[in-house]
Structure 1
Amino acid sequence: MKSGRKSTSTVIRRNRLVAYTFLLPNIIGFLLFILIPVIASFIMSFTSWNGFGVIEFVGLENYKNLIHDTNFRISFINSILFTLISVPITLFLSILIAIALNRGIRFVKVFRTAVFLPYVTATIAVAAVWQLIFNPSMGPINGTLMKFGIDNPPGWLSSPSWALLSVSVVYIWHSVGYYMILFLAGLQNIPDHLYEAAELDGAGPIAKFFNVTLPMLSPVIFFTMIIGVINSFKVFDLIYVLTGGGPGRSTHVLVYDIYNTAFKQFEYGYASSMAYVLFLLILIFSFIQFRGQKKWVNY
């Protein structure tokens, strides 16, 4: 009996050792590249340091300076505007495309691949292609507008009035395929008998959409809203390639401002405080969404 218990405990210890061995690389990576940098940047947000000299503790001075920093205020507003533009439109288009592709149309796999392909394409390549599309003199958009009699079409990426909207268009085009896949998975998990019951009650396509499809998709919608808000606040590479934060500061968003402050102005403490304000902003948005989901999400 004892030998049996010993052998069982030996097997358990061996299995645990194997599990920890496989987990160890991921744990080390998490510690080195996520947890330790997060803690270090939080501590650094209370300091003034240019990367070379002596680290000076300044307390809450960095956070106080952010209140009066015009550049930070512009980046803050631009980030919120970018999120309010891109997230609702992305989710709306994703749902429409997912519903269309879920109806069993011909060549559905081809259309799925075509919609999803931009998401898996390198962001730098996407931005480079859209720079050509938005080109004010040789781009196809302005070329088409000129053919329709518009002599002075907008400079999409060079105009302060249009630049943020243009970047939002590229972001939506690049992201919609990812959310479409999530909604498509949600649609395929809706039981057919719910639609059959709705038909027996005399429900048409619109009534079925609002009374069956949307309620059953609400957990997916909630998840995509959370992910969409987080990803939109993190946007950097598109803006870096397309506009460089310009023209003026019309496309300066928080992550781009953090990058400039840290790696061009070498104010690491101040940049860290900006990063934690961004973290707080995302946390507030997520908290509001989690509180509100109790009223409309059906599990």
Structure 2
Amino acid sequence: MRKTWLPWLILSPSLLFLLLFTWFPLGRSVYDSLFDTRMASDGAQYVGLDNFARLFADGVFWQSLVNNLLYILLTVVPGVTLALLLAVALSENHRVNRWLRTAFFFPMIIPMVSAAALWLFIFMPGLGLLDHYLAKLFGPMNNNWLGRSNSALLALALIGVWKFAGYYMLFFLAGLQSIPASTREAALMEGATRTQVFFKVTLPLLRRP
């Protein structure tokens, strides 16, 4: 009997936190979306799905949806790919590799406010580090990287990749370390190249459940 309730007892603080700060606000938001609340009026008027109808008819909503999907595509795909390459390159348990793993994971533990301030300095028009080094190659620069529609999304995606690639790398490292070294060594002894070993041995074993 003890084995039944003990896990739930251990999880109860986290479950309570999720209930109070995730599920309750989510449910409350859905409930409030069915009403029209005006600051000048005393109460809220039930309007059903009218708010959703206006939302789906708004072009700004669809543009923001497209922007979010593009951001996910530009962040997740390069971030996961970079994380996999880093994990493979740093899979050997050497001292230098351990330092490099820490360095690549470090952006993950930087508070988002601090990370935003850092990248605002890098992207600062004319005075930022990016424009400073580009000016050495192409002459004076005054690019508003975060203020132009053709570069803002790419700049934000770059920040996302920098922030989370090291976090994804840890998962790939754990998967790589679970693969017996003898498996890859046997493939190399059979004449396979390192590229073939990666695609034919390492990657399939990483994908296993």
1:162 aligns with 2:125: no
**2:32 partner letter:** M
1:196-231 per-residue CA deviation (whole Å, 9 max, x = no partner) reads 33123321101000001111112xxxxxxxxxxxxx
Cα drift, residue 126 of structure 1: 0.6
1:88 aligns with 2:77: yes
Moved more, 184-193 or 204-213: 184-193
- Mapped to 2, the partners of 1:62 and 1:93 lie a distance apart of 41
Moved more, 45-54 or 133-142: 45-54
Taking structure 1 as reference, are residues 28 and 89 closer, same or farther at Cα in structure 2, changes over 3 Å only?
Answer: closer
Cα drift, residue 153 of structure 1: 5.2
- Identify the match of residue 104 of structure 2 among 115, 132, 136: 115
**1:44 partner letter:** D
1:230-287 per-residue CA deviation (whole Å, 9 max, x = no partner) reads xxxxxxxxxxxxxxxxxxxxxxxxxxxxxxxxxxxxxxxxxxxxxxxxxxxxxxxxxx
- Mapped to 1, the partners of 2:191 and 2:5 lie a distance apart of 60
Cα drift, residue 110 of structure 1: 1.2
In structure 1, the partner of 2:129 is 140
- Identify the match of residue 191 of structure 2 among 202, 207, 212: 202
Specify the SS of the correspondent of 1:148: helix
- Identify the match of residue 55 of structure 1 among 44, 50, 57: 44
| Aligned partners of 2:188 and 2:194 also within 8 Å | no
Taking structure 1 as reference, are residues 16 and 209 closer, same or farther at Cα in structure 2, changes over 3 Å only?
Answer: closer
**1:37 partner letter:** P
- Identify the match of residue 64 of structure 2 among 60, 69, 75: 75
- Mapped to 2, the partners of 1:199 and 1:179 lie a distance apart of 27
Tell me the number of residue pairs that the alignment of Structure 1 and Structure 2 aligns: 208
| Aligned partners of 2:126 and 2:142 also within 8 Å | no
- Mapped to 2, the partners of 1:27 and 1:95 lie a distance apart of 32
| Aligned partners of 1:118 and 1:174 also within 8 Å | yes
Specify the SS of the correspondent of 1:48: strand
Cα drift, residue 106 of structure 1: 4.5
1:109-163 per-residue CA deviation (whole Å, 9 max, x = no partner) reads 2111111111001011011011111112211211111111243453211222111
| Aligned partners of 1:46 and 1:58 also within 8 Å | yes
In structure 2, the partner of 1:33 is 21
**RMSD between aligned residues:** 2.3
In structure 2, the partner of 1:182 is 171
Identity, in percent, stands at 34
- Mapped to 2, the partners of 1:50 and 1:151 lie a distance apart of 51
**Gap runs ≥5 in structure 2:** none
- Identify the match of residue 125 of structure 1 among 110, 114, 121: 114
State the TM-score, normalizing by the size of structure 2: 0.88
Specify the SS of the correspondent of 1:103: coil
Cα drift, residue 34 of structure 1: 2.7
In structure 2, the partner of 1:245 is none
- Identify the match of residue 53 of structure 2 among 57, 64, 68: 64
